[in-house]
Amino acid sequence: MADKKGRAGTPKNTSGRGQRDLKVKVKTAKGRKTSSTRWLQRQLNDPYVAAAKRDGYRGRAAYKILDLDEKFRFLLPGARVVDLGCAPGGWCQVAVKRTNALGERTSKPVGKVLGIDLQEVDEIAGAEIHQLDFLDEGADDLVKGWLGGPADVVMSDMAPFSSGHKQTDHLRIMALVEAAAYFAFDVLEEGGTFIAKVLAGGAENDVLLLLKKNFTKVVHVKPPSSRKDSSEKFVIATGFKGRPDDLGTG
């Protein structure tokens, strides 16, 4: 990582000037919505956006998985990783480096990173990208075939398109997380890890109970790189117990 960051995934201001001096103000142009102006101003003043450009990542979301891996250490050299909803590819980029998927560290085992998305995603060095709906019948067998065995990690930064209605969006993302969890049950190695983005709300209890049945430890985390005004959190489930015939029932 670049030496301008205090620890992995945490950009740091080293200019000697205060934050107030660095802030960029954007005026609302004629014909542009106020919300668009706010978004643009936030992007211009976001240290993680600037860090992503500097470090060659495809988006600021890369620092979220870096933060989570710093804490839980699941992207180990030699690990087989599935990134569901991988576009634009920042999480895959991080996974490639941390699992040694390019084989650059000759003394370490070589990992395998598989990116899955509904849309076409530009190639990523060291990752294998497939355009696939993970909900399709037989998708789990395809993924295990591409990996050459079960996965050590299934991770998801997926979120449905926003409807603008908070409760509806929360229910949609929790349904997506539950679907991703069942997919993980099909492809994970015993002892594996599942990571997924959730939104704070009140409908996540069923998903958490499902995960707690099937993993030895389940926690909620809001990484430092997640915007303070965002309701997103991440659920980290470690120590997959394996898949008995009646998994997830009863």
- Give me the catalytic one of 166, 197, 228, 233: 197
pLDDT value of position 169:
75
Backbone angles phi, psi at 198, to 5 degrees: -130, 170
Q: Which CATH number goes with the domain that contains 209? A: 3.40.50.150
232, β-bridge pairs: 199
Sequence-ordered list of residues with C-beta below 8 angstroms from that of 206, at least 6 positions apart, any chain:
174, 178
Q: Is residue 247 part of a domain?
A: no
Averaged confidence pLDDT in the chain = 82
Co-location of 48 and 159 in the same domain: no
Asked whether residue 76 falls in the same domain as residue 34, the answer is no
Angstrom distance (rounded) from CA 68 to CA 230: 17
Q: Is residue 111 part of a domain?
A: yes
Comparing 30-39, 46-55, 160-169, which segment has the lowest mean pLDDT? Answer: 30-39
Q: Looking at the domain assignment, is residue 197 inside a domain? A: yes
Whether 23 is in a domain gets the answer yes
Residue span of the structural domain in which 213 resides: 62-240
The identity of residue 38, as a single letter, is R
In 3-state terms, what secondary structure has residue 212? helix
> Within this chain, do residues 77 and 23 fall inside the same structural domain, yes or no?
no
**pLDDT score recorded for residue 26:** 44
Structural domain count, the chain = 2
234 inside domain: yes
Question: Over 90: is that where the pLDDT of 156 sits?
Answer: yes
Percentage of the chain beyond pLDDT 70 is 74
31 within some domain: yes
Q: How many CB atoms lie within 10 A of CB 124?
A: 22
Instruction: Give the β-pairing of 232-240 and 188-199.
Output: antiparallel
Characterize the bridge pairing of strands 232-240 and 112-117. unpaired
Instruction: Give the global pTM.
Output: 0.79
Q: How far apart are CA 205 and CA 187, in angstroms?
A: 23
Are β-strands 151-156 and 188-199 bridged in parallel, bridged antiparallel, or unpaired? parallel
Q: Which of 59-73, 122-136, 153-167 has the lowest mean pLDDT?
A: 153-167
249 is a domain residue: no
Does pLDDT of 145 surpass 50?
A: yes
Tell me if 245 is assigned to some domain: no
Determine which of 49-58, 63-72, 160-169, 196-205 has the lowest per-residue pLDDT on average.
Answer: 160-169
Same domain for 34 and 157, yes or no, is no
Tell whether 38 and 125 lie within a shared domain. Answer: no
Check if 197 is active-site.
yes
> Strand 112-117 vs strand 80-84: parallel, antiparallel, or unpaired?
parallel
Dist CA 54 CA 167 (whole Å): 36
Q: Which residues contact 2 (CB under 8 A, 6 or more apart)?
A: 51, 54, 55
Binding residue positions for S-adenosyl-L-methionine: 89, 91, 117, 133, 157
Q: What is the DSSP track for 47-95?
A: HHHHHHHHHT-SSTTHHHHHHHHHHH----TT-EEEEET-TT-HHHHHH
Q: Are residues 48 and 144 in the same domain?
A: no
Give the residue, 216 or 52, on which the prediction is more confident: 216
**Pairing relationship of beta strands 5-7 and 10-11 according to DSSP bridges:** antiparallel
